Chains A and B, each alone.
Chain A
Amino acid sequence: MMRLLHALILTWFLLPGTAVLLRAGDVEFFEKKVRPVLAEKCYKCHSTESEKLKGSLLLDHREHMLTGGETGAAIVPGDAEKSLLIESIRYGNEDLQMPPKEKLSAEIVADFAKWIDEGAAWPDEPVPQREGSGGEEAFDLKKRFEEHWSWRDFSNSEPPAVKNPDWTKSPVDQFVLAKLEEKGLRPAEEADRSIWFRRVHFDLVGLPPTREQWGEFLSDQSPQAKENAVDRLLDSPHFGEKWARHWMDLVRYAETYGHEFDYPIAGATEYRDYLIRAFNNDVPYDQFVKEHIAGDLLPEPRRNPEKGFNESILGTGFWYFHEATHAPTDVLANEADIMDNQIDVFGKSFLGLTVSCARCHDHKFDAISTKDYYAMTAYLHASARQEVVIDENRVREKTAADLIAKKRDADALFKLPVQKAQVSAPLREDETIFEDFEGGTLPEGWSTTGEAFSAGSGGGVRFQSKAPVAQPGVVDSGLLGKKQVGILRSPTFTIETDFIHILTKSEKSHIRLIIDNYQMARFSALLFKGTLHNNLDTKGGFVWKSLSGNLNKYRGHKAYLEFIDPENGEILVDEIRFSTHPKPPAVPEARAKPVNQNLPAPVPALIKEGEGIANRLPAPRYAVAMAEGSPEAANVYVRGSHRSLGDEVPARFLEALGGATGDRLALADHVAAADNPLTARVLVNRIWHHLFGQGIVPTVDDFGPMGRLPSHPELLDYLAEDFVTNKDWSMKRLIRELVLSSTYGQSSKPHPDLSSGMLAEIDPANELLHRMRVKRLTGEAVRDSILAVSGRLDPQLFGASVPTHRTEFMTGRGGKKSGPLDGGGRRSIYGAVYRNFLSPFMLTFDVPSPFGPKGKRSVSNVPAQALVLMNDPFVLEQSKLWGRRIVEEYSTDAERIDAMFLEALGRKPDLNERNRIESYLSAESSGNQEETWSSLAHVVLNMKEFIFIP
């Protein structure tokens, strides 16, 4: 034995695949100290024999270790420090701690390090191979692309011939009827006119018809009666309120951030109002998509028709309705989670793709790679959240242009002594100037929002009589008066020093360092102390303000600076230094005192005039939006961990959809392109889903292989192509065609000629639409209908939301003021959406909790819904109002009963019903008419017909 060992020690091995020669002693060390540990602790998951291979990593041969798994090579022979295996067994990387159950002892870890440092010796033995391909099929994007239907172009399908063309009113009907005929079925009979009328009311505006609308429709005997009704509904301002809400489900619309304190999302309601206007104005869907993705970058933004402000930029607000926490201990992980949510919303809403499934690995089923996912994150890394001012009548823009012209004239009338701003003291060691604004124009990479910074940094007159002159070399939000607002944004940089000193003068303005796009420091500075100055007031003079405090935690992180003049103030920035010195330098003399100069006439008068103009600006109105930041590539986070950086990827679109690079505007163009096979299909399918109760593709948010196949693929393609080429992406035109079709006009009862046995056999799930589907009203429509019939409905559009009415069961941190029980009579879309205090009424009726895109709500059917309609004080209160109104407006029992049925159910009671009600009324009547009729009102509101629409 000893002899053999000696022999081994004297022998050198040439290991396969490497040119490294190893000594036999190393192999012995391996066999004694390393292999047994590998076998005991690792091979359950990392060997060719493993039942389930984890992380695609094999550790049962040196070759396998060099090939590595998902996170790359496991070992770098000769360099333990660079070996992932060592990193993981040291538990150095939180996302990669092996073995997972228990850390190896320090001695064993040292043995492994020694083994690797000395070359990672392995005896010459065959490389074991795992049977099959390791359990999972390799990711093949091209193959998946070729095999799945939704990536194909539209099929140019022509409406098929049918046996009974009399039934068809639209090509849509031809597609539906052809399938029914093929299966030996026939459509249901036409729905009763009043059933159709009530149905189309709820589908288009989310409200029941009023008495007047009933009268108008029922008396319209013309052949165009239905067209007239539909056109009236499409023109109704309430159309946008109904359809905006569908979109809000997709973008997880909320007005607070949730988490511990449920902080507010400022300006959220402006996005809601933007949607309502966009649907009412029938903004073409391709435009609508572009506005969402890159409305801030459109060269010619869409203007509000009445008030002229930029509508397009408001669409970008959707990116920012994610949840957010204060004080994340790992800000980069927090950023990654938020981006995941943003990409999830983006992918599903516009493309019907589960892109975010590719965050940790290539998509399990779809033609979407991890690189596709991280290429999307590059757009988000290169963007910045901002609050943007809504410039009604473009008064800010016009005032700025006017004052810039006036300033040019005034500047020409006197000569400012050239006063090169002196740097206070020579730069100290380990200190650099990030920016000194000496150029007169905005430096490269810097950007602004709003008008306050639009006059540059060239000095000259300021339209402020008290401080009328500016020196060059300072950016100054007060040049055009105090009331202009704006944001100045630096390029993104990497934090390398613990101190940033800023020479500034400020009044009611903010300085914020945005680290890894983290936005919550303004609410709670915890873990971000010293990274912002909110409402900074420098008492009229220049001072050095420092960013410090927790900044040392974020060395190596990406960040940008924001200087925000939000309302009636100003901020001036002279210089920004990155420094290792905790103390800023002295304030230079040129900045220590105001610039005094006797200005020649008529300059003072011009300044006064300009100041007067500036002071007439209204208070700003803000919305949340996106802004362009510094272009950035992104890294793949291997297995979703930001601690394991993989390849760098540029910002680009999904490879399966062309993979074009470019900025966010280019991305928007690709998503909204006429030849994108998904965008139009997904949208027409969503509209179909809302009108018919189920999409042609039932999984409306997933057009991938895990989604369901279209029931009528040719119809889907026809609709999509027609929508793009003939309807110019007009959603109203599409909706009009659909609701006037014979398919939509069917009764929800099957045709009497069809036996139930036959239906059970051929079309049990009504996939072929042999009848209309019964739809339950959404939570919003249930509540809005109650308000409508009670007479309490306030039809006002837009504006601040009505706080949620809080019950004693809604407690917890971040509570908001409770709102009125009846929500002020406003439609439900104007009810506040506080993430942690969602309306129980809405939740009971399946209004989604806003966490991610939800194109298809669940339709639950639970006793809690009965309890709400039976006992909720809101319902009881509205029943009272309704009962009282009915008593006031009608005098006989018969009239009153008829009115109630018409208003709530759109029909008259039959004789049995009338008798039954009359016997109830006589048993109930206590002398108090209002009470009696309120009781009946309550019963009618609880009738299933009230919320289930046939």
Chain B
Amino acid sequence: MHCRRFQKSPLSRRDLLAKGAMGFGGVALQALLSDQSRATVTNPLAPKTPHFAPKARNVIFLYMDGGPSHVDTFDYKPMLKKYNGRDPGEVIGKLAPTQFDNVGKVLQAQWDFKQRGESGAWVSELFPHLAKKEVIDEIAFVKSMTSKFSEHTFANYFLHTGSPFQGRPSMGAWFGYGLGSENENLPGFVVLNGGLIPPGGLDCFGSGFLPAAYQGSVFLPKDQPIANIKPGEKDAESQRRKLDLLSDLDRSALTKGYPDPQVEAAIQNYETAYRMQTSVPDLMDLRGESDVVKKLYGLDSDFQNTKTFGLQCLLARRLVERGVRFIELTCPGGNGDRWDQHGKLVDGHGKNCKTVDQPIAGLITDLRRLGLLDSTLIVWAGEFGRTPFAQGNDGRDHNPFGFTVWMAGGGVKGGASVGATDDFGYKAVQDRYEIHDLHATMLHLLGVEHTQSTFRFSGRDMRLTDVHGHVMKEILV
């Protein structure tokens, strides 16, 4: 009687679905497939054909929660040094309201800058690993990004979903919707949570009005990375006995009078779920990774957060290898705060940079080594930048008017730099870009025309880019 249906199966989910569906007659199936439940029957994560040939297949989004200071990292502004300590109202001009309304003096970069690589990109000493020639020349900077919001939550939702409100689909969900996933046993959108869930909460990774299949699954970098992945039975055998019985009872009921495709699909979900119980632990099992590789990511660092973020970056690579479409990394906590240094800038940014610098450099290097960099798009961005003047005397406030984001990998012109802020790094003045442009470009690189990828909701054809967005051609190969 034990048919071992829940052993690892060489059949794909779609094969199984097709096979199971034959159980109640081909024509009936056709009739039923066009029922309301159609969307639930076809696998929503089945790979889809892009609009045009993609440059990249996967995205790793390095989310720098809190808003890194562009003038302390990549946007070199000598004028800040010249006017350090002066009244920003006099030097920079009229200032927009800031979140904390505690405007101090003009504050120079707290770290020295040098030009790096063949591209001559300006990088502050905060990023010694990223600054290495073989890494920095892979990166294209956008120094004129803007957001519309000064508040974390609005800006987080905006960066993640293109809308400042809760309940909209996150980028990762849109990528899953547009392209499907290459792996049937893992979610298409994985968030590797370093510890900090951004203000706005899990809805930053939600599927909004898109079907729930596209929502981000939050993985913790630990043995049981997601909820409910570990069976509660005392041994694997007893779970399998249960599932075999379940399968028989479900199929018996099907023959009795449940000719419904959604029931059939739900039965198939158990097979996928069962396989996920194996594929997820397999993902987390690093025994096959060499010490050299682990070191590259900083897993031997003396700083715990470097180890944590290094592990996240290594897992990101492993997820790319497994065909997961969109991987987002959030930052580890315990650095004083997220990149949100309203005070103690030197300490906080110092720790936050130390956390991510080596792991990100390792990730780029490792992906290139494996030949995966060309097909993986890496995006580094916070929800806004920080003010070139102090908040109080040792912090910086939120600045959505001009900041730096960067991209690397598939389709990106390494070594490029576009756009500029004014002499003080306060507002973008040349080639201003907005978040919608970032989204349009990311979709473009994966072969999706952002104006064509729509979902009908609330009487409108909704888009990740709303009614905006232009592809940033200047940084593309």
Residues of A bordering B, CB below 8 Å: 94, 100-103, 258-260, 262, 323, 325, 327-330, 337, 341, 348, 354, 357, 364-366, 526-527, 550, 553, 693-694, 699, 701-702, 704, 706-707, 747-749, 756-757, 759-760, 764-766, 773-774, 776, 807-814, 835-838, 840, 843-844, 846, 848-852, 858-868, 870-873, 876, 910, 912-913, 916-917, 919-920, 923-924, 935-936, 938-939, 942-945, 947-948, 950
Contact = CB atoms under 8 A, between A and B. Distances in A.
Contact of A837 (B199, B201, B432): B201
Contact of B250 (A694, A872, A943): A943
Contacts of B269: 861-863, 865-866
Given A323-B166, A809-B220, A866-B272, A765 B213 contact: no
Q: Which 8 A-B pairs have the closest CB atoms?
A: A851-B167, A836-B201, A812-B197, A760-B31, A866-B273, A706-B459, A860-B212, A260-B199
A912 B229 contact: no
Contacts of B195: 811
A809 B226 contact: yes
A704 B202 CA distance: 33
Contacts of A939: 242, 245-246, 249
B151 A260 contact: yes
Interface stretch (B257-265, B351-359, B438-446): B257-265
A912 B249 CA distance: 9
Interface in B230-246: 230-233, 238-239, 241-243, 245-246
B11 interface: no
Contact of B267 (A553, A844, A868, A944): A944
B262 A851 contact: no
B459 A550 contact: no
* Residue among A759, A814, A871 having the largest count of chain B Cβ atoms under 10 Å: A871
B158 interface: no
A849 B166 contact: yes
B31 A764 contact: yes
Nearest to A365: B459
Interface in B163-209: 164-168, 193, 195-203, 206, 208-209
A135 to B, nearest CB: 14
B459 A101 contact: no
B273 A867 contact: yes
A323 B168 CA distance: 13
Interface in B417-450: 429-432
Contacts of A527: 97, 99-101
Contact of A808 (B209, B220, B252): B220
A223 B208 CA distance: 47
B383 to A, nearest CB: 12
A913 B199 contact: no
Contacts of B229: 867, 871
Interface string B26-37: 011011001111
A101 B145 CA distance: 11
B454 interface: no
Nearest to B400: A329
Given A809-B226, A809-B227, A944-B250, A858 B211 contact: yes
A761 to B, nearest CB: 9
A706 B212 contact: no
A773 B152 CA distance: 44
Nearest to B239: A870
Contacts of A553: 97, 101
Given A812-B196, A837-B201, 15 more contacts: A323-B165, A329-B96, A527-B101, A706-B459, A756-B27, A774-B263, A809-B220, A835-B203, A838-B202, A870-B273, A871-B230, A872-B227, A935-B238, A944-B267, A948-B263
B253 A944 contact: yes
Contacts of B212: 843-844, 846, 858, 860, 862, 864
A325 B156 CA distance: 13
Contacts of A323: 165-166
A748 B212 CA distance: 26
A865 B257 CA distance: 23
Contacts of B25: 756
A676 B200 CA distance: 39
B460 A871 contact: no
30 contacts: A94-B96, A258-B153, A260-B151, A348-B458, A357-B458, A526-B100, A701-B458, A702-B458, A702-B459, A706-B459, A760-B30, A807-B227, A809-B218, A809-B227, A810-B202, A812-B197, A836-B200, A846-B212, A848-B167, A851-B167, A863-B276, A864-B217, A865-B269, A866-B270, A870-B243, A872-B227, A924-B238, A942-B246, A944-B250, A944-B266
Contacts of B263: 774, 944, 948
B331 to A, nearest CB: 13
B40 interface: yes
Interface string B446-470: 0000000000001110000000000
A920 B31 contact: no
A327 B28 contact: no
B98 interface: yes
Interface residues of B, number: 93
A913 B98 contact: no
A860 B213 contact: yes
SS of A interface (majority): loop
A945 B96 CA distance: 59
A259 B166 CA distance: 8
A101 B432 contact: yes
B406 interface: no
A777 B260 CA distance: 15
B154 interface: yes
B239 to A, nearest CB: 8
B125 interface: no
A844 B227 CA distance: 12
Contacts of B375: none
A864 B220 CA distance: 16
Nearest to B197: A812
B40 A861 contact: yes
Given A330-B97, A774-B258, A851-B165, A262 B201 contact: yes
Contacts of A260: 151-153, 199-200
Given A102-B432, A774-B263, A776-B262, A860 B34 contact: no
A181 B288 CA distance: 67
Given A259-B199, A943-B246, A924 B241 contact: yes
Contacts of B34: 760, 764-765
A149 to B, nearest CB: 15
A329 B150 contact: yes
Contacts of B290: none
B7 interface: no
B42 to A, nearest CB: 10
B260 A774 contact: yes
Nearest to B94: A92
Interface in B105-154: 150-154
B262 A863 contact: no
Contacts of B394: none
Contact of B242 (A757, A852, A863, A938): A938
Nearest to A341: B165
B198 to A, nearest CB: 8
B167 A948 contact: no
A102 B258 contact: no
Contacts of A365: 459
B37 A859 contact: yes
A528 B252 CA distance: 65
A66 B289 CA distance: 69
A764 B35 contact: yes
A693 B165 CA distance: 29
Contacts of A810: 202
Given A837-B201, A846-B212, A354 B253 contact: no
Nearest to B262: A861
A910 B251 CA distance: 13
Contacts of B233: 935
Contacts of B27: 756-757, 760
A31 B209 CA distance: 51
A704 B456 CA distance: 14
